[in-house]
Structure 1
Amino acid sequence: MSLLSIGKSGLLAAQVGLSTTGNNITNASVAGYSRQVAIQSDTGTQDMGFGFVGTGTDVVQVKRYYDDFLNNQLRGAETNKASLDTYYSQISQIDNLLADPTAGLSPAMQDFFNGVHDAASNPASAASRQAMLSSADSLAGRFQGLSARLSEIGDGVNSQITSTVTQINSYASQIAQLNDSISGLSSDPSKAPNDLLDHRDQLLTELNKLVKTTVIPGDNHMLTVSIGTGQPLVVGNHNYNLATTTSPTDVTRVTVGYQTGSVVNALPESVFAGGQLGGLLDFRSGALDKAQNELGQVAAGLVTAFNQQHHLGQDQNGAMGGDFFAPIQASVAASTRNSPLSTANVTAVVTDASALTASDYSVDYDGTNFYVTRQSDGTKTQINPFPQTGPQTIDGVDYTITGAPQPGDDFLVRPTVNAAASVKVVLSDRTKVALAAPIATAAPTTNAGTAKISAGSVDVNYLTPGNALTAPLTLTYNKAANSLSGFPATQDVTVTVNGVPTVYPAGTPSIPYTDGASISFGGISFSISGAPADNDTFTVGPNTAGVGDNRNGQLLAGLQTKNVLDGGNATFQSSYAQMVNFVGNKTREAQISGQASDAAVQQATAAQQSVSGVNLDEEAANLLRYQQAYQACGKVMQVASQLFDVLMNIGG
Structure 2
Amino acid sequence: MSNVLSTGTSALLAFQRALSTVSHNVANLNTPGYSRQRVDFAARNPTDVGVGHIGQGTRIQDINRVVDELANARLIDSGGELARLEQLSSLSSRVDSLMSDPATGITGAWSGFFDSVSALSADPSASARRQDLLGQASALSARFQQIQGQFDQLSREVDGGLRAGADEVNRLASEISELNAKISGRKAAPDLLDRRDQLVGELVALTGGSAVSQDGTSVNVFTAGGQALVVGTQASRLGAVADPYRPERTQLVLESPGQASRLDERALGGRIGGLLEFRSQILDPAQGELGRVALGLAHSFNEAHARGMDQYGDMGGEFFRAPTPKVSAHAGNTGGANLSAAASDPGAITGRDVVLQWRDGAWSATDATSGGELALTGSGTADDPLLVAGVSITFDGAPASGDRFLVQPTAHAAGVLDVAISDPARIAAAAPMRVEADLGNVGSGKPGAVTAADPDNPMPAHPATIEFIDGDQYTVDGAGPYPYVPGETIHANGWSFTLDGAPGPGDRFGIGPTGAGSSDNGNALLLAAVDDLRGLDGGSQSLNGAIAGLTTSVGSAARQAGYAAEAQGVLHTQAQAARDSVSGVNLDEEAANMLRLQQAYQAAAQIIATADSMFQTLLGTVRR
Q: TM-score w.r.t. structure 1 length?
A: 0.86
Preserved contact between residue 149 and residue 415 of structure 2 (Cα < 8 Å): yes
Residue from 271, 276, 281 that aligns with 1:281: 276
1:368 aligns with 2:361: yes
Match of 1:232 in 2: 228
- Give the Cα separation in 1 of the matches to 2:445 and 2:361: 61
Deviations 1:495-527 (A, max 9, x none): xxxxxxxxxxxxxx9897564665767764446
Match of 1:257 in 2: 253
- Give the Cα separation in 2 of the matches to 1:361 and 1:47: 87
The 3 A distance-change label for structure 1 pair 538 and 368 is farther
Letter of the structure 1 residue corresponding to residue 315 of structure 2: M
1:449-460 superposed matches below 5 A: 455-458=449-452
- Give the Cα separation in 1 of the matches to 2:305 and 2:615: 117
1:471 aligns with 2:462: yes
Residue from 257, 265, 270 that aligns with 1:269: 265
Match of 1:602 in 2: 573
1:407 aligns with 2:398: no
1:226-625 superposed matches below 5 A: 226-259=222-255, 264-273=260-269, 275-339=270-334, 341-349=335-343, 351-375=344-368, 378=372, 380-387=374-381, 389-391=383-385, 393-441=387-435, 455-458=449-452, 461-463=454-456, 468-473=459-464, 513=483, 515=485, 518=489, 524-526=495-497, 540-544=511-515, 547-625=518-596
Preserved contact between residue 372 and residue 383 of structure 1 (Cα < 8 Å): no
- Give the % identical residues: 35
Deviations 1:190-238 (A, max 9, x none): x322111111111111112212132121236111111133211112222
The 3 A distance-change label for structure 1 pair 399 and 514 is farther
Preserved contact between residue 462 and residue 468 of structure 1 (Cα < 8 Å): no
Letter of the structure 1 residue corresponding to residue 189 of structure 2: P
Structure 1 window deviating more from structure 2 (510-519 vs 298-307): it is: 510-519
Letter of the structure 2 residue corresponding to residue 243 of structure 1: G
Match of 1:96 in 2: 97
Preserved contact between residue 369 and residue 386 of structure 1 (Cα < 8 Å): no
Structure 1 window deviating more from structure 2 (45-54 vs 592-601): it is: 45-54
Letter of the structure 2 residue corresponding to residue 127 of structure 1: A
Structure 1 window deviating more from structure 2 (316-325 vs 115-124): it is: 115-124
Q: Alignment RMSD, CA only? A: 3.2
Match of 1:169 in 2: 170
Preserved contact between residue 309 and residue 429 of structure 2 (Cα < 8 Å): yes
Deviations 1:257-282 (A, max 9, x none): 12358975422331112x21111112
1:43-192 superposed matches below 5 A: 43-183=44-184, 186-187=185-186, 191-192=187-188
The 3 A distance-change label for structure 1 pair 305 and 6 is same
- Give the Cα separation in 2 of the matches to 1:116 and 1:68: 68
Structure 1 window deviating more from structure 2 (392-401 vs 11-20): it is: 392-401
The 3 A distance-change label for structure 1 pair 545 and 324 is closer
- Give the Cα separation in 2 of the matches to 1:554 and 1:29: 71
- Give the Cα separation in 2 of the matches to 1:511 and 1:355: 44
- Give the Cα separation in 1 of the matches to 2:341 and 2:65: 65
User: C-alpha displacement at 1:14, in angstroms?
Assistant: 1.1
User: C-alpha displacement at 1:128, in angstroms?
Assistant: 1.9
User: C-alpha displacement at 1:37, in angstroms?
Assistant: 1.3
Letter of the structure 1 residue corresponding to residue 245 of structure 2: T
User: C-alpha displacement at 1:324, in angstroms?
Assistant: 0.3
Deviations 1:571-623 (A, max 9, x none): 43342222222222222333332222222222111111111111122112212
- Give the Cα separation in 1 of the matches to 2:225 and 2:77: 16
Preserved contact between residue 462 and residue 523 of structure 1 (Cα < 8 Å): no
SS in 2 for 1:72: helix
- Give the Cα separation in 1 of the matches to 2:5 and 2:119: 109
Structure 1 window deviating more from structure 2 (394-403 vs 583-592): it is: 394-403
Preserved contact between residue 455 and residue 526 of structure 1 (Cα < 8 Å): yes
The 3 A distance-change label for structure 1 pair 533 and 98 is closer
- Give the Cα separation in 1 of the matches to 2:243 and 2:496: 51
Deviations 1:86-140 (A, max 9, x none): 2222122222222222332222122211221222222222222222111111111
Aligned residues: 619
User: C-alpha displacement at 1:65, in angstroms?
Assistant: 1.3
Preserved contact between residue 204 and residue 223 of structure 2 (Cα < 8 Å): no
Q: TM-score w.r.t. structure 2 length?
A: 0.90
- Give the Cα separation in 1 of the matches to 2:375 and 2:408: 16
Unaligned runs of 5+ in 1: 488-508
Preserved contact between residue 92 and residue 278 of structure 2 (Cα < 8 Å): yes
Deviations 1:30-89 (A, max 9, x none): 111111111111123344444333222221211111221111111112122212222222
The 3 A distance-change label for structure 1 pair 616 and 530 is closer
Match of 1:10 in 2: 11
- Give the Cα separation in 2 of the matches to 1:567 and 1:518: 28
Deviations 1:123-171 (A, max 9, x none): 2222222221111111111111111112112211211121111111111
The 3 A distance-change label for structure 1 pair 109 and 532 is closer
